[in-house]
């Protein structure tokens, strides 16, 4: 028996030496990600989709990642009028589509108009509402389509409506193309972060000539229709980014090669990218450990694997703060869906419950990733020029929480009934909810039930405000506090707590018309202070992103809190 | 026999249509909205546009459009992967799942029959004990454990097989997933064969065969195993449908582009188009495999009459 173990080990070692020889590298940069939802740049909302969108399409401007300033991309320069309302972009004459056609201002106008048409269901269409007349155009089109569908459709009607739509867009929306290389955008009000929006994937151009052939008018609905698979077909997709799509094997991989017509080929650090698809983090890790991938950008931070990787203190594991917040919604309406009075309509109850959340223990022992604990909705120090009002937030303080509960009429938690935590299953939400439930029950005497729910049903319940407390998260889209604060305006579709405060709405409106950047930030800070004093939400922690790569080998990764990528700059040393 | 096959083939569209209708009804009233995300929802106008685009605003329109397209072989778009057609997903995933499933089934039959025979012929010996232990492991261990262990040892440590993905021109991608899937059915087949053989080996016709002086190997393989295999054959019909339509766990562990993952996630995501497409294909396969098994059953055992 004593010889068995050494013998077996020797056998294993001998066998391991005759394993498969490593497969030849198919690309300069290889990474593992999950399957894509969309490759249509105007419909992308998921981070892993946007990452590929940035490779295939180039917007007017891009972030210089070392200092996070905006620099020219397809536009070589731009001017802003003194009143901050008119932006004139001058396109590079050298900018070309992957088929050799020049990129024109009309290609941008076409793509932006497409994003403003409901039928193309662009989740981020509201980003264009900063442009003069865009919101009116969007609403007008919605109304016209509804009227068209009610009035009984006929063929000339649909064509006429589309003709009117084009005319309306041209006449009312502040997008003009005086020549092929000039794009003039007029805003509704000054928008200090508009220039950064122009670097966002939704704002990239479309190859107008090829897309126009794909888009058909539905005579019976008046809607424009396009086969979504257009975008995933490497033979048909025409982009203006650093790469072209060479291959897409659904659920297997996606191969990108350098765009032969890209204007800045000399500035690229690699000429090809292979994205392998794996839905299982353990398998992704094994691919990486076997040397078959250089980078794992999408390791789920809620997994035990992530916590274990961090605990191992590996030099190739990189934790990066993210501009995103994990929090709990408190239903703020006066009555609950079943007609009972809602105890959470009292801000004192909400504050007390928020004070009863031991955030430090959650990030140390439950999530085990030591995320920055959150007392404000906006992650402090991440939004340029903005100071999050941390003094207005709540900290773990059981005695103060008990006092507030007693003041609100619930001494020792007595009478505070019907409280439940609604959460979607998976991604570690259950363990966080269990921990908070136990703390509230043991320390505050508040009895809480847990309501786990699958994702779609959970989203539906949130939309209908059918909950008392629900878990939530919010990821910033652009570098301005309004990316967070707009969410809690009265009537906002994502205002899940149903929070209504005229003072808060007024402050946000005031900030919209304020032209002095410092004063504007002060107003927004004031708004968030008010929000935090009323606690329609209990912030818990700010997210982190976990990347796995060997920094000695993979250069120019430029990790940042915004997850802005410039994959064309990444260089992998062989 | 031809009348039986024809009759069963005529029944097939009717059964598939009933399964389709029941699935459609259940899926339509499944709670939740597939177009919503928990953390960032589209505006009401965009949501309405999406509902209209996919005909999800009216069950009658949805059904009409769906059936019209399905008859032309198009099962609509996937709501989860919106730039993919369900037909394309099935076309890409089914052959992979079928290849792995077929290999797994063949492996399960070989391993199961061998283990079962060993146990039946030499009961109480070390070989019997070993085969029973393997059977027990096969039955008890879930696929994610066996899959992960096989992956770590033979993929990660020994590097004999690739750790993830799929290539048609490399059979190495097939081995570990097929083995993982095969262990469960192999254990079941081993039990069926062992029990069946143990009974049959004491039957009169076997004694007669032995008394006639037939060699033991011929008695076992030609006479006993043929009869003992009948319960295995009836198990193989549904087993073939199950193994060849993919496994959620095995596909995730080995990052395989099969159809099993879609079957589970489509329900979780309320991806109506994908659910209906998969159920239609799966039910057709299940009926088809059962028909093949019935025909084989009659071919193996002449006492059975197909009517």
The whole-number pLDDT of residue A261 equals: 97
Contact A488, A531 (CB under 8 A): yes
Query: What secondary structure does DSSP assign to B66-127, as a single string?
Result: HHHHHHTT---B-SSSTTSBHHHHHHHHHHHHHHHHHHHHHHHHHHHHHHHHHHHHSTTSHH
Q: What's residue A375's pLDDT?
A: 97
Do B82 and A43 make contact, defined as CB atoms within 8 angstroms? Answer: yes
List the one residue out of B204, B113, B137 whose CA is nearest residue B121: B113
Q: Which of B85, B163, B172 sits opposite A290 (nearest CB)?
A: B163
Q: Which residue of A has its CA nearest to B157?
A: A16
Residue % of chain B over a pLDDT of 70: 98
Which of B161, B255, B259 to mutate to probe the A interface, most A CBs <10 Å? B255
Asked if B45 reaches chain A (Cβ–Cβ under 8 Å), the answer is: yes
- Contact: B52, A221; criterion CB under 8 Å: yes
CA–CA separation, A74 and A97 (whole Å): 11
CB contact under 8 A, B93 and A251: yes
Q: Which positions in chain A touch B95 (Cβ < 8 Å)?
A: none
Residues comprising chain A, all counted: 574
A229·B88 Cβ contact <8 A? yes
Q: Is A77 helix (H, G, I), strand (E, B) or coil?
A: strand
**Mind giving me the DSSP string for A273-327?**
EEEEE-S-HHHHHHHHHTTS-SEE----TTSHHHHHHHHTT-TTEEEEEEEEEEE
Neighbouring residues of A462: CB distance < 8 A, sequence distance ≥ 6? A329, A422, A470, A472, A496, B38, B41
Given a cut of 80, whether residue B14 has pLDDT beyond it is: yes
Rounded Cα distance between A496 and B83, Å, is 29
Measured between CB atoms, does B34 come within 8 Å of chain A? yes
Q: B282 to chain A nearest CA, in Å? A: 20
pLDDT of residue B306: 62
Residues of B in contact with A223 (CB under 8 A): 49, 52-53
> B21 in contact with A at a CB cutoff of 8 Å?
no
**Is A39 close to B83, i.e. CB distance below 8 A?**
yes
Residue A198's DSSP bridge partners are none
- Return the higher-pLDDT residue of B210 and A433: A433
User: Which two structure tokens, joined as six digits, stand for A148?
Assistant: 């068209």
Q: Is B121 on the interface with A (CB under 8 A)?
A: no
Position B102 pLDDT exceeds 70: yes
Q: Which residues of B touch A253 (CB under 8 A)?
A: 165
Tell me if A12 and B257 make a contact (CB, 8 A cut-off): no
- Better-predicted residue by pLDDT, A70 or B241: A70
Average pLDDT of the residues of chain B = 86
Q: State the pLDDT at residue A565.
A: 87
Mean pLDDT for B282-298 is: 84
pLDDT for residue A105: 98
Could you give the CA distance from residue B180 to residue B145 in angstroms, rounded to a whole number? 9
E strand residue ranges, chain B:
none
- Cβ of A121 and B46 within 8 Å? yes
Chain B residues with CB under 8 Å of A230 CB are: 83
Contacts 24+ apart (CB under 8 A), A71-75: A73/A199, A74/A103, A74/A205, A74/A240, A75/A183, A75/A198
Answer whether B52 sits within 8 Å of A223, measured CB to CB.
yes
HSE of B32, CA atoms in CB hemisphere, 13 A: 23
* pLDDT band for position B36 (cuts 50, 70, 90): confident
Q: Does B264 touch chain A (CB under 8 A)?
A: no
Over residues B53-69, the pLDDT tens digits come to 888 888 888 888 888 88
Whether residue B149 lies within 8 A of chain A, CB to CB, comes out as: no
Closest-CA distance, A564 to chain B, in angstroms, reads 19
For chain A (574 residues), the mean pLDDT of every run of 10, in chain order, is: 45 50 86 94 93 97 92 97 96 98 98 94 92 96 86 72 95 97 96 94 97 91 89 95 96 96 97 94 91 93 88 94 96 87 95 97 95 97 95 96 96 93 91 97 96 89 92 94 96 92 96 92 98 97 96 95 92 92
Q: In this complex, do A38 and B83 lie within 8 Å of one another by their Cβ atoms?
A: yes
Specify the pTM: 0.89
d(CA A531, CA A394): 12
For residue A20, the model assigns a pLDDT of: 67
Residue of A nearest to B172 (CA): A20
Between positions 188 and 247 of B, the ones with CB within 8 A of A are: none
Distance separating alpha carbons of residues A19 and A291, to the nearest angstrom: 14
**Distance from C-alpha of B246 to C-alpha of B181, rounded to nearest angstrom:** 9
Contacts of A457 in chain B (CB under 8 A): 31-32
* Structure ipTM over 0.85, yes or no: no
Answer for the pair A200, A478: CB distance below 8 angstroms, yes or no. yes
* Best residue of A218, A236, A251 to probe chain B, by most B CBs closer than 10 Å: A251
Q: To the nearest whole angstrom, how far is the Cα of A251 from the nearest Cα of chain B?
A: 5
Give yes or no for B305 touching A (CB within 8 A): no
CB-based contact, B14 to chain A, within 8 Å: no
Would the CB atoms of A473 and B31 count as touching at under 8 Å?
no
Looking at the partner chain, which of B31, B48, B148 has a beta carbon nearest the beta carbon of A457? B31
Residue B162 sits at the chain A interface (C-beta within 8 Å): yes
Q: B305: pLDDT confidence band, cut at 50, 70 and 90?
A: low
Number of Cβ within a 10 Å radius of residue A163 = 10
Q: Which residue of B has its CA nearest to A12?
A: B158
CA distance A56 to chain B (A): 16
What is the rounded CA–CA span in Å between residue A228 and residue A236? 12
Residues 6+ away with beta carbon under 8 Å from A552: A573
Partner A contacted by B93 (CB < 8 A): yes
For chain A, say whether B257 makes contact (Cβ under 8 Å).
Answer: yes
Chains A, B: CB contacts within 8 A come to 170
pLDDT at A5: 43
Whole-number pLDDT of residue A11: 47
Q: State the best of A250, A298, A478 to mutate against chain B, taking most chain B CBs within 10 Å.
A: A250
A292/B80 touch (CB, cutoff 8 Å), yes or no: no
Residue of B nearest to A487 (CA): B40
CB-based contact A12 B158, cutoff 8 Å: yes
In this predicted structure, what is the pLDDT of residue A1?
38
Exposure string for A518-547, b = 16+ CB within 10 A, e = fewer = eebbebbbbbbbbbbebbbbbbbbbbbbbb
Give the separation between CA A96 and CA A91, rounded to whole angstroms: 11
How far, in Å, CA of B261 to CA of B245, rounded? 10
What pLDDT is stored for residue A515 in this prediction?
A: 87
Tell me the shortest Cα–Cα distance from A125 to chain B, in angstroms: 9
Pairwise pLDDT comparison (A398 vs B47), residue with the higher score? A398
């Amino acid at each position: 028996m004593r010889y068995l173990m050494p013998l077996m080990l020797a056998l294993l070692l001998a066998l391991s030496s005759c394993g498969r020889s490593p497969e030849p590298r198919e690309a300069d940069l290889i990474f593992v990600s999950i399957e894509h939802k969309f490759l249509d740049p105007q419909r992308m909302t998921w981070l892993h989709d946007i990452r590929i969108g940035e490779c295939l399409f180039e917007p007017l401007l891009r972030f210089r990642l070392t200092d996070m300033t905006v620099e020219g991309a397809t536009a070589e320069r731009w001017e802003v009028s003194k009143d901050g309302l008119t932006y004139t972009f001058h396109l590079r004459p050298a900018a070309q589509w992957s088929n050799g056609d020049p990129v024109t201002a009309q290609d941008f106008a076409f793509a932006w108009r497409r994003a403003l048409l409901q039928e193309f269901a662009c989740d981020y269409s509201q980003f264009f509402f900063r442009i003069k007349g865009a919101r009116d155009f969007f609403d007008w089109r919605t109304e016209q389509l509804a009227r068209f569908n009610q009035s009984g459709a006929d063929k000339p009607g649909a064509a006429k409506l589309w003709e009117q739509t084009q005319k309306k867009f041209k006449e009312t929306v502040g997008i003009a193309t005086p020549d092929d290389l000039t794009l003039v955008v007029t805003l509704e009000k000054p928008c200090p972060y508009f220039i950064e929006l122009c670097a966002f994937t939704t704002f990239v151009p479309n190859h107008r000539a090829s897309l126009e052939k794909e888009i058909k008018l539905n005579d019976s609905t008046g809607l424009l229709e396009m086969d979504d698979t257009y975008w995933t077909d490497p033979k048909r997709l025409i982009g203006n980014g650093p790469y072209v799509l060479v291959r897409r094997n659904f659920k297997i991989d996606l191969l990108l090669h350098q765009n032969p017509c890209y204007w800045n080929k000399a500035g690229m650090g690699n000429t090809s990218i292979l994205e392998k698809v794996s839905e299982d983090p353990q398998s992704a890790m094994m691919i990486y450990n076997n040397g078959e991938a250089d980078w794992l950008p999408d390791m789920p931070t809620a997994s035990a694997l992530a916590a274990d990787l961090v605990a191992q203190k590996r030099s190739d594991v990189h934790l990066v703060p993210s501009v995103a917040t994990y929090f709990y919604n408190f239903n703020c309406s006066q009555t609950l869906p079943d007609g009972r009075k809602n105890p959470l309509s009292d801000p004192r109850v909400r504050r007390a419950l928020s004070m009863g959340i031991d955030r430090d223990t959650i990030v140390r022992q439950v999530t085990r990733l030591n995320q920055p604990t959150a007392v404000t909705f906006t992650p402090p120090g991440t939004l340029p020029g903005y100071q999050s009002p941390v003094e207005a937030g709540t900290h773990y303080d059981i005695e103060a929480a008990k006092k507030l509960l007693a003041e609100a009429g619930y001494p020792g938690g007595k009478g505070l009934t019907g409280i439940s935590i609604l959460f979607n299953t998976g991604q570690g939400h259950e363990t966080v909810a269990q921990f908070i439930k136990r703390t509230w029950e043991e320390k505050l005497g508040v009895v809480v039930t847990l309501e786990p729910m699958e994702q779609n049903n959970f989203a539906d319940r949130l939309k209908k405000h059918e909950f008392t407390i629900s878990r939530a998260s919010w990821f910033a889209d652009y570098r301005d506090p309004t990316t967070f604060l707009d969410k809690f305006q009265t009537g906002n579709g994502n205002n899940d707590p149903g929070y209504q405060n005229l003072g808060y709405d007024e402050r946000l409106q005031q900030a919209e018309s304020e032209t002095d950047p410092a004063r504007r930030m002060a107003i927004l800070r004031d708004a968030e202070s008010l929000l935090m004093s009323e606690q329609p939400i209990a912030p818990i922690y700010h997210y982190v992103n976990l990347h796995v790569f060997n920094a000695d080998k993979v250069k120019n990764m430029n990790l940042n809190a915004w997850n802005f990528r410039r994959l064309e700059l990444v260089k992998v040393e062989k | 026999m031809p009348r039986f096959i024809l009759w069963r083939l005529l029944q097939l569209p009717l059964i598939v249509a009933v399964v389709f209708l029941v699935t459609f009804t259940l899926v339509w009233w499944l709670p939740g909205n597939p177009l919503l995300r928990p953390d960032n929802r589209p505006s009401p106008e965009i949501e309405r546009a999406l509902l209209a685009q996919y005909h999800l605003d009216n069950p009658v329109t949805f059904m009409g459009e769906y059936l019209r397209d399905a008859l032309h072989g198009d099962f609509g778009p996937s709501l989860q992967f919106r730039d993919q057609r369900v037909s394309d997903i099935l076309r890409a995933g089914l052959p992979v799942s079928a290849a792995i499933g077929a290999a797994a089934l063949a492996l399960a039959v070989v391993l199961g029959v061998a283990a079962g025979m060993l146990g039946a012929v030499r009961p109480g010996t070390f070989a019997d004990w070993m085969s029973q232990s393997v059977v027990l492991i096969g039955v008890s261990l879930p696929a994610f454990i066996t899959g992960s262990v096989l992956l770590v040892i033979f993929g990660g440590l020994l590097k004999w097989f690739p750790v993830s993905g799929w290539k048609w021109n490399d059979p190495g991608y097939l081995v570990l997933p097929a083995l993982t899937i095969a262990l469960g059915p192999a254990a079941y087949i081993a039990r069926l064969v062992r029990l069946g053989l143990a009974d049959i080996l004491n039957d009169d016709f076997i004694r007669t065969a032995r008394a006639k002086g037939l060699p033991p190997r011929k008695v076992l393989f030609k006479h006993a195993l043929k009869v003992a295999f009948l319960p295995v054959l009836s198990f193989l019909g549904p087993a073939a449908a199950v193994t060849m339509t993919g496994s959620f766990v095995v596909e995730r562990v080995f990052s395989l582009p099969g159809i099993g993952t879609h079957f589970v996630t489509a329900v979780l995501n309320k991806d109506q188009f994908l659910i209906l497409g998969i159920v239609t294909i799966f039910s057709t396969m299940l009926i088809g495999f059962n028909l093949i098994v019935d025909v084989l059953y009659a071919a193996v055992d002449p006492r059975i009459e197909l009517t």
